Amino acid sequence: MSLVLLGISHHTAPLELRERLAIAERDLGPALHALLNHESVREGLILSTCNRVEVLADLEAPEELPAFLQTWSGLELQPVRKHLYERRDREAVRHVFRVASSLDSLIVGEPQILGQLKQAYAVAREAGAIRGGLDALLTRAFHVAKRVRTETDLASQPVSVSQAAVELARQIFGALHGKTILLVGAGKMGALAVRALSSQGANRILIANRTLERAQLLAAEFHGEAFPLEDLNTLGERADIVITCTGAQQPLITPKQAAGFLSRRKYRPMLFLDIAVPRDVHPDVHKLDNAFVYNVDDLQAVVDSNLAGRQREAIRAEAIVEAEVEQFLQRLKTLDVVPTLRALQTQMDAIRRSELERMRGKLNGLNPQQTQAVEALTRGLMQKWLHRPVTELKAAALEPAGAGLVDMAQRLFGLDSPHSSALSSPEAPAPHHVKRGDTLRIGSRGSQLALWQANHVKALLEAAGHSCSIEIIQTSGDRIQDVPLATVGGKGLFTKEIEEALIEGRIDLAVHSLKDVPSELPHGLGIHCILPREDARDVLVSLQPEASLRSLPPGSRIGSSSLRRQAQLLALRPDLVVENIRGNVDTRLRKLREGQFDALLLAGAGLKRLGHSGLITEWIGVDLMCPAVGQGALALECRDEDEFTRTVLSSLQHIPSALCVEAERGFLHQLGAGCTAPVAAYASIAGELLNLKALVCSADGKEIIRGQRTVLLGSAEETPEQAGAQLGHELLRRGGDRILAAAASQLAQLKAPHRA
């Protein structure tokens, strides 16, 4: 893979020159085909925005990129060569990661560039211009951008006047749901501020303007009400937030008028955002109690301060990028040995299966459980035998002379798989991927619910014409059944071993309950499909048909394995006895029938999938008991480099469910909490708005910090994931960090006896 990037941007050229090289979105497909017509170009991508035009390619002859750009644009490049920049190999990787992370943008931290890069990637894939190495590079770039957004505050501080208005409003009112906005004047800046505030839940919009027709047009856009400017005196008392942007030469709102508004509102707070020049709100209004006045200079000061803050955060982001560049390049080196490792594992597994088949006649007396035990034993022996050669081959791949050891291993074991390419090795083929006609191997835990989920996915894939098999893999969470999950420690209790099988190529995809999946995935793996979400609510199960949380007698014993459920239940009913329960669904139901518990708290989705809905005595509302992050959702995970499987899974993606869990997992990632921590989040979509509710609670339920955030879907201001991260940041700031630290300390003390 030999990477070359040729580009021009706002850093190197004026707008008029960038315009001449720009490629319209409708022309990207034909341009990519023209690029691929150059003999040495193996893969390519074109990114064309108002601030940059860049061509990225894996090719043998770097001089072909300027030739392509000149031919396509019709512009003689020699006179403008000084405005172009070229990046190769390592520097090209670093540049792509920085662009995706918005570190190279005109406004550092702006989110639009990531969406533009993803769109360019989608166009290139559709055109067949991305197949191997570039696919891995771009996929990793998106991961790097996600890390920068969630691990730094690069994009959290407002850098536009409208964003600053939202931030100030949140500081005064907290959540903006149900707040009323009065826009005085119908200027563009005022409309932008209204749009930003309404996207965060302020849903009652009043517009007063000298020209009523203009007010009516704007009101129609926001589903608001229009009034003549003369009605200002009667409208003011209805507004929580007043935005003024008229061309009046004298203040429209005087201290006397504002005092009247406040008096009739019983002195509930009012925020005045005066973005007019000259000012529409008299400066002395800010002297009134519960009146908060910010003019255009105040808002700009917030923006300037936050821009400086973003520059400081950019230093942290650059460190993340640098580490990711090194990791990606190291991974490219290890790709040399991947086909050999897979061939070795396939050969050993074929021998194992052949020997089992040869001995099958002597094992006829074994029951299914014993047969499964023999299968697991032989597979375990094979993995233990392979561990040392696999480890040594992976380590050798990073050394200059590693190719010799790989070749020797191929000869020793009779393998005929050539090794693939590292950076700047243009002759080598792309990494092996699953191809059409192959049987897709689905990895799953062995519980009844996990197998239902795996078979559900298998049926969906087979209906689409794909052959599938299911491989059962036991996880750490399955093996440890005698202690509460929260005290076990570590991430991925129910996913780690399955993901190891994915990385090693023993399976092609994994089916997970998303609530069990940590917010950070192993390098090289990604969640590439979220199926339609089942009901995410928790439920009460009792032998008493009419039982509910409110009707349970004091002292009732309630079984739950979730620290989140236990804490919220204790907050609602501190008079109940909450006890830990482990085991699969049937085991828990058996313990209930035996009288060990009076009731159980479970996820309703699992009971529905297993046909146990009739046992549910109460579906608990999300406002009463907030669900776990991702609860009710099934996630399909595969290798990022496996283009065929990714494409197959993407056809099953349910966009609304994916957007909701994206927001929830953004919240979880910002908190740095694991799946067993006492945190909860639930997102829902109504029209064009996604609403996210979340909480952090103490283990005893005595302290709960709740929050809520709304994001306009498709908005360039904020993605669902960013909304989740922002809500997480807010709850941490309000005391969530202290609660989580205390919970972690308590769990550490509980874990100590288990370690001993």
pLDDT at 152: 87
> What's the CATH number for 3-151?
3.30.460.30
Contact between 669 and 519 under an 8 Å Cβ cutoff? The reply is: yes
pLDDT at 421: 42
Average of pLDDT values for 630-646? 92
50 in catalytic set: yes
pLDDT at 460: 94
Which regions of 152-290 does DSSP assign to beta strands (E)?
180-184, 204-209, 225-228, 241-244, 270-274
- Mean pLDDT, rounded, of the chain: 85
Residue spans in the chain of domains classed CATH 3.40.190.10: 538-620
* Alpha-carbon distance values, 120 to 103, 555, 681 (Å): 18, 60, 32
159-200 confidence digits (pLDDT tens): 567 777 888 888 888 888 889 999 999 877 788 888 888 888
Contact between 692 and 711 under an 8 Å Cβ cutoff? The reply is: yes
Nearest to 461 by CA among 648, 643, 657: 648
Q: Which of 50, 245, 529, 626 is labelled catalytic?
A: 50
Identify the H or E element spanning 3: strand 3-9
Instruction: Report whether pLDDT(432) > 70.
Output: no
Q: Which three-class secondary structure state does DSSP give residue 429? A: coil
Rg (CA), the chain: 30
**In the chain, how many H helices and how many E strands?**
26, 23
pLDDT at 481: 52
676 pLDDT band, cuts 50/70/90, is low
Residue spans in the chain of domains classed CATH 3.30.460.30: 3-151
Specify the higher pLDDT residue, 327 or 591.
Answer: 591
659 pLDDT band, cuts 50/70/90, is very high
- Annotation: CATH topology of 161-303: Rossmann fold (3.40.50)
SS3 of 673-688: the string is CCCCCCEEEEEEEECC
413 pLDDT band, cuts 50/70/90, is confident
Residue spans in the chain of domains classed CATH 3.30.160.40: 654-756
What's the burial of 448, exposed, middle or buried (CB within 10 Å: 0-12/13-18/19+)?
middle
263 pLDDT band, cuts 50/70/90, is very high
pLDDT at 36: 92
Range of weakest confidence among 36-50, 366-380, 729-743: 366-380
Q: What is the maximum alpha-carbon separation in the chain?
A: 100
Average of pLDDT values for 688-711? 91
Average of pLDDT values for 201-210? 91
DSSP secondary structure, 143-182, as one string: HHHHHHHHHS-TTTS--SHHHHHHHHHHHHHSS-TT-EEE
Backbone angles phi, psi at 377, to 5 degrees: -65, -50
Average of pLDDT values for 593-618? 94
What proportion of the chain, given as a percentage, has pLDDT over 70? 89
Provide the whole-model pTM: 0.54
Cis check for the bond before 278: say yes or no (omega within 30 of 0).
yes
Q: Which three-class secondary structure state does DSSP give residue 574? A: coil
pLDDT at 416: 57
Q: Does domain 538-620 have CATH number 3.40.190.10?
A: yes
Specify the higher pLDDT residue, 15 or 674.
Answer: 15
Residue spans in the chain of domains classed CATH 3.40.50.720: 161-303
Q: Which three-class secondary structure state does DSSP give residue 695? A: strand
429 pLDDT band, cuts 50/70/90, is very low
Q: Does domain 654-756 have CATH number 3.40.50.970?
A: no
SS3 of 294-343: the string is EEHHHHHHHHHHHHHHHHHHHHHHHHHHHHHHHHHHHHHHHCCCHHHHHH
Q: And the tokens for 596?
A: 């060990």
